[in-house]
Chain A
Amino acid sequence: MSAGESPSRATPASLPAAVPPRGLPGLDPAFSRLLDVPESGSGAVRTWHLLDNGPALAALGTTAVGTIVAVHGNPTWSYLWRRLLSAAVEQAAAGGDAWRVIAPDQLEMGFSERTGTVRPLARRVRDLGDLTDALQLEDPVVSLGHDWGGVVALGWAVDHPDLLAAVLSLNTAVHQPEGYPIPAPLRLALRPGVLDLATRSTPAFLETTLALASPALGPDVKDAFRAPYREPARRSGIRDFVADIPVDERHPSRPELQRIAEGARALGVPSLLLWGPKDPIFSDRYLDDLSDRLGGDVHRFTGAGHLVAEDADYAEAALSWLSRKGPTAAEVAQPGEAATPAEGDAADDPEVVSPPLWSRLDELRESDDVALVELAPSGRAEPRTVSWRLLSRRVRQLAAGLVRSGVRPGDRVSLLVPPGADLTAALYACLRIGAVVVVADAGLGLRGLSRAVVGTWPDHIIGARPGLAAARALGWPGQRISTGELSAPLRRALGVSATFGELLELGRDEILAAEPSAEDIAAILFTSGSTGPAKGVVYTHGRLQALRDVLAVHYGVGVGTGLVAGFAPFALLGPALGARSATPDMDVTAPATLTAPAVAAAVAAVDATVVFLSPAAVANVVATSKSLTPADRTALTGVRTVLSAGAPVDRGLLEGIARLMPNATASTPYGMTEGLLLTDITLDELRSVGDGPGVCVGTPIPGVRIAVAPLDDRGVPSATATARPGAPGEIVVSAAHLKRGYSRLWVTDRDADFRFPDGARGHRTGDVGSFDHGGRLWIEGRLVHVLSTADGVLTPVAPEQRIGRVPGVRRAGLAGVGPLGTQQAVAVVETEPATRRPALAAPQLAARVREAAGVPLAAVLAVPRLPTDIRHNSKIDRARLSRWAERVLSGKRMTAP
Chain B
Amino acid sequence: MKVLVTGASGLLGRATARALLAAGHEVRTLQRRPSGIAGAEDALGTLTSAADVRCAVAGTDAIVHLAAKVSLAGDPAEFAAVNVQGTRAVLDAARAAGVPRLVHVSSPSVAHGGSSLAGQGAAPADPDRARGEYARTKARAELLALAADSPELRVVAVRPHLVWGPGDTQLVARIVERARRRRLPLLGSGAALIDTTYVDNAASALRAALDRVDDVHGRAYVVTNGEPRPVAEMLAGICAAAGVPAPAWSVPPGLARFAGSLVEAAWRVRPGADEPPMTRFLAEQLSTAHWFDQRLTRRDLRWAPAVDLDEGLRRLAASYASS
Contact A823 B119 (CB under 8 A): yes
Distance between B109 CB and nearest chain A CB, rounded to angstroms: 16
Contact B293 A858 (CB under 8 A): no
Q: Assuming the A-B contacts A858-B228, A858-B229, are A889 and B289 also in contact, with contact meaning beta carbons closer than 8 angstroms in the complex?
A: yes
Distance between B68 CB and nearest chain A CB, rounded to angstroms: 27
Contact B295 A891 (CB under 8 A): no
Tell me, in angstroms, the Cα distance from A821 to B190 when the chains sit together: 26
Point out the residues of chain A lying under 8 angstroms from B119, CB to CB: 817-819, 822-824
Is A317 close to B, CB under 8 A?
no
Point out the residues of chain B lying under 8 angstroms from A823, CB to CB: 119
Contact B193 A824 (CB under 8 A): yes
Distance between A265 CB and nearest chain B CB, rounded to angstroms: 54
Is A886 close to B, CB under 8 A?
yes
Task: Pick the residue among B116, B227, B236 that contacts A890 (CB under 8 A).
Answer: B116
Point out the residues of chain A lying under 8 angstroms from B295, CB to CB: 790, 821-822
Point out the residues of chain B lying under 8 angstroms from A355, CB to CB: none
Contact A839 B229 (CB under 8 A): no
Q: Assuming the A-B contacts A817-B118, A821-B293, A840-B189, are A890 and B288 also in contact, with contact meaning beta carbons closer than 8 angstroms in the complex?
A: yes
Point out the residues of chain B lying under 8 angstroms from A861, CB to CB: 191
Tell me, in angstroms, the Cα distance from A858 to B191 when the chains sit together: 10
Tell me, in angstroms, the Cα distance from A840 to B247 when the chains sit together: 14
Q: Identify the interface centre among A819, A843, A888, A889: most chain B CB within 10 Å of its CB.
A: A889
Distance between B254 CB and nearest chain A CB, rounded to angstroms: 10
For chain A, residues 853 to 897, give those with C-beta under 8 angstroms from any C-beta of chain B. 856, 858-859, 861, 886, 888-894
Is B294 close to A, CB under 8 A?
yes
Point out the residues of chain B lying under 8 angstroms from A846, CB to CB: 233
Point out the residues of chain A lying under 8 angstroms from B291, CB to CB: 818, 824, 858
Is B287 close to A, CB under 8 A?
yes
Tell me, in angstroms, the Cα distance from A823 to B232 when the chains sit together: 20
Task: Pick the residue among B191, B226, B233 that contacts A894 (CB under 8 A).
Answer: B191
Output the nearest chain B residue to A713 by Cβ-Cβ distance: B295
Tell me, in angstroms, the Cα distance from A817 to B287 when the chains sit together: 17
Contact A889 B293 (CB under 8 A): no
Contact B116 A840 (CB under 8 A): no
For chain B, residues 81 to 126, give those with C-beta under 8 angstroms from any C-beta of chain A. 116, 118-120
Distance between A557 CB and nearest chain B CB, rounded to angstroms: 52
Is B188 close to A, CB under 8 A?
yes
Contact B294 A822 (CB under 8 A): yes
Point out the residues of chain B lying under 8 angstroms from A894, CB to CB: 188-189, 191
Is B47 close to A, CB under 8 A?
no
Distance between A885 CB and nearest chain B CB, rounded to angstroms: 9
Tell me, in angstroms, the Cα distance from A888 to B289 when the chains sit together: 9
Q: Assuming the A-B contacts A817-B193, A858-B193, are A891 and B232 also in contact, with contact meaning beta carbons closer than 8 angstroms in the complex?
A: no
Contact A858 B227 (CB under 8 A): yes
Task: Pick the residue among B118, B190, B227, B289 that contacts A819 (CB under 8 A).
Answer: B118
Is B74 close to A, CB under 8 A?
no
Point out the residues of chain A lying under 8 angstroms from B230, CB to CB: 840, 858-859, 889
Point out the residues of chain A lying under 8 angstroms from B294, CB to CB: 790, 822
Contact B226 A891 (CB under 8 A): no
Tell me, in angstroms, the Cα distance from A536 to B50 when the chains sit together: 76
Contact A891 B253 (CB under 8 A): yes
B-side interface residues, number (CB < 8 Å)? 27
Point out the residues of chain B lying under 8 angstroms from A858, CB to CB: 193, 227-230, 291
Contact A889 B192 (CB under 8 A): yes
Point out the residues of chain A lying under 8 angstroms from B233, CB to CB: 840, 843, 846, 859
Q: Assuming the A-B contacts A790-B295, A889-B230, A889-B289, are A818 and B118 also in contact, with contact meaning beta carbons closer than 8 angstroms in the complex?
A: yes
Tell me, in angstroms, the Cα distance from A859 to B287 when the chains sit together: 15
Point out the residues of chain A lying under 8 angstroms from B289, CB to CB: 889-891
Distance between B125 CB and nearest chain A CB, rounded to angstroms: 21
Tell me, in angstroms, the Cα distance from A861 to B190 when the chains sit together: 11
Point out the residues of chain A lying under 8 angstroms from B287, CB to CB: 891
Distance between B104 CB and nearest chain A CB, rounded to angstroms: 25
Tell me, in angstroms, the Cα distance from A92 to B226 when the chains sit together: 41
Instruction: Bits for A809-828, please: 1 = Cβ < 8 Å to B, else 0.
Output: 00000000111011110000
Point out the residues of chain A lying under 8 angstroms from B120, CB to CB: 819
Instruction: Bits for A235-258, please: 1 = Cβ < 8 Å to B, else 0.
Output: 000000000000000000000000
Task: Pick the residue among A790, A840, A890 that contacts B190 (CB under 8 A).
Answer: A840
Distance between B253 CB and nearest chain A CB, rounded to angstroms: 7
Q: Identify the interface centre among A817, A824, A843: most chain B CB within 10 Å of its CB.
A: A824
Tell me, in angstroms, the Cα distance from A839 to B230 when the chains sit together: 11
Q: Assuming the A-B contacts A846-B233, A893-B188, are A822 and B288 also in contact, with contact meaning beta carbons closer than 8 angstroms in the complex?
A: no
Tell me, in angstroms, the Cα distance from A592 to B289 when the chains sit together: 40
Distance between A329 CB and nearest chain B CB, rounded to angstroms: 40
Distance between B258 CB and nearest chain A CB, rounded to angstroms: 15
Output the nearest chain A residue to B290 by Cβ-Cβ distance: A891
Distance between A793 CB and nearest chain B CB, rounded to angstroms: 14
Q: Assuming the A-B contacts A790-B295, A824-B291, are A859 and B191 also in contact, with contact meaning beta carbons closer than 8 angstroms in the complex?
A: yes
Output the nearest chain A residue to B116 by Cβ-Cβ distance: A890
Tell me, in angstroms, the Cα distance from A790 to B119 when the chains sit together: 10
Task: Pick the residue among B187, B191, B226, B293 that contacts A840 (CB under 8 A).
Answer: B191
Tell me, in angstroms, the Cα distance from A846 to B240 when the chains sit together: 15
Contact B293 A822 (CB under 8 A): yes
Q: Assuming the A-B contacts A822-B295, A824-B291, are A890 and B189 also in contact, with contact meaning beta carbons closer than 8 angstroms in the complex?
A: no
Output the nearest chain B residue to A819 by Cβ-Cβ distance: B119
For chain A, residues 792 to 818, give those with C-beta under 8 angstroms from any C-beta of chain B. 817-818
Tell me, in angstroms, the Cα distance from A821 to B118 when the chains sit together: 12
Tell me, in angstroms, the Cα distance from A85 to B191 when the chains sit together: 46
Output the nearest chain A residue to B118 by Cβ-Cβ distance: A818
Tell me, in angstroms, the Cα distance from A889 to B189 when the chains sit together: 9
Point out the residues of chain B lying under 8 angstroms from A890, CB to CB: 116, 118, 192-193, 288-289
For chain A, residues 300 to 348, give those with C-beta under 8 angstroms from any C-beta of chain B. none
Point out the residues of chain A lying under 8 angstroms from B116, CB to CB: 890-892
Point out the residues of chain A lying under 8 angstroms from B229, CB to CB: 858-859
Output the nearest chain A residue to B236 by Cβ-Cβ distance: A843
Q: Identify the interface centre among B189, B192, B294: most chain A CB within 10 Å of its CB.
A: B189
Task: Pick the residue among B118, B187, B236, B293 that contacts A886 (CB under 8 A).
Answer: B118
Tell me, in angstroms, the Cα distance from A872 to B6 when the chains sit together: 62
Output the nearest chain A residue to B226 by Cβ-Cβ distance: A790
For chain B, residues 171 to 190, give those with C-beta under 8 angstroms from any C-beta of chain A. 187-190
Instruction: Bits for B210-243, please: 1 = Cβ < 8 Å to A, else 0.
Output: 0000000000000000111110110010000000
Output the nearest chain B residue to A886 by Cβ-Cβ distance: B118
Distance between A741 CB and nearest chain B CB, rounded to angstroms: 38
Tell me, in angstroms, the Cα distance from A817 to B116 when the chains sit together: 13
Distance between A792 CB and nearest chain B CB, rounded to angstroms: 11
Task: Pick the residue among B188, B228, B236 that contacts A891 (CB under 8 A).
Answer: B188
Instruction: Bits for A831-859, please: 1 = Cβ < 8 Å to B, else 0.
Output: 00000000110010010000000001011
Instruction: Bits for B188-204, please: 1 = Cβ < 8 Å to A, else 0.
Output: 11111100000000000
Q: Assuming the A-B contacts A819-B118, A858-B227, A859-B229, are A888 and B293 also in contact, with contact meaning beta carbons closer than 8 angstroms in the complex?
A: no
Tell me, in angstroms, the Cα distance from A822 to B291 when the chains sit together: 10
Point out the residues of chain B lying under 8 angstroms from A892, CB to CB: 116
Tell me, in angstroms, the Cα distance from A891 to B291 when the chains sit together: 12
Distance between A752 CB and nearest chain B CB, rounded to angstroms: 30
Point out the residues of chain A lying under 8 angstroms from B288, CB to CB: 890-891
Distance between A896 CB and nearest chain B CB, rounded to angstroms: 12
Tell me, in angstroms, the Cα distance from A819 to B296 when the chains sit together: 14
Instruction: Bits for B265-301, please: 1 = Cβ < 8 Å to A, else 0.
Output: 0000000000000000000000111010111000000
Output the nearest chain B residue to A823 by Cβ-Cβ distance: B119
Tell me, in angstroms, the Cα distance from A763 to B192 when the chains sit together: 41
What are some 19 contacts across the A-B interface (CB < 8 A)? A790-B295, A817-B193, A818-B118, A818-B119, A821-B293, A821-B295, A823-B119, A840-B233, A846-B233, A858-B227, A858-B229, A859-B191, A888-B191, A889-B118, A889-B192, A889-B193, A889-B289, A890-B288, A894-B189
A-B contact sample (12 more), CB < 8 A, given A821-B295, A824-B193, A861-B191: A790-B293, A790-B294, A817-B193, A824-B291, A840-B189, A840-B232, A840-B233, A846-B233, A856-B227, A859-B228, A886-B118, A891-B288
Q: Which 4 pairs across A and B sit closest by C-beta, in order of nearness?
A: A818-B119, A891-B192, A894-B189, A890-B116
